[in-house]
Amino acid sequence: MNRLKFFVSAVLAAILFTLPVIAQEKKVQKADLPAAVQKTVEEQSQGATVRGYSTEMENGRLNYEMQLTVNGKTRDISIDANGAITEIEDQVDFASLPDAVQAGLRKKAGAGKILKVESLTKKNKIVAYEAVVETAGKKKEVQVGPDGKPLAHEE
């Protein structure tokens, strides 16, 4: 009986801790975006295909995200309520990365397969590279700094 109680408690805890994460991102329409965000969206989507828009709470602040395809690669732009760009995630070719970044991502990936890599840019500066890694059918994200070294905290 104790095992059953433990199992039920563990499942309930997992659900409760997962719900806030799931609830954070919400798909929205362009018309739902504030005027300042719409202006930035118009500027940044020139020559790109817009895949969608969403909102997300980060550190207690509502951010807007625009998902694009530019020259066959993904680009996600996070925008604050005032229309300022807070982060850009650009898909990059693994082979185009500096050797130190490739080595750092390979080390973080371990035996996993690197599926996709993005550069993370904040304030016009690349602050990290993030890779989607698949290991035994499960996907996770790993990050390294622009120098290929582990980060003190994830971006």
Same fold, 25-84 and 93-155: yes
Domain segments of the chain as ranges: 25-84, 93-155
The answer on pLDDT for 23 being more than 50 is no
pLDDT tens sequence across 114-145 = 999 999 999 999 999 999 999 999 999 999 99
Is the pTM above the cut of 0.85?
Answer: no
Closest CA to 118 of 142, 77, 148, 90: 90
Q: Which CATH architecture has domain 25-84?
A: Roll (3.10)
pLDDT recorded at residue 1? 53
Here the tokens at position 21 are 């994460």
Q: Which fold has domain 93-155?
A: Nuclear Transport Factor 2; Chain: A, (3.10.450)
pLDDT recorded at residue 31? 94
- 50 close to 67: Cβ distance less than 8 angstroms: yes
Q: Report the alpha-carbon distance of residue 55 to residue 103 in Å, rounded.
A: 34
pLDDT tens sequence across 55-106 = 998 888 899 999 999 999 999 999 999 999 999 999 999 999 999 999 999 9
The answer on pLDDT for 22 being more than 50 is no
Closest CA to 107 of 145, 153, 155: 145
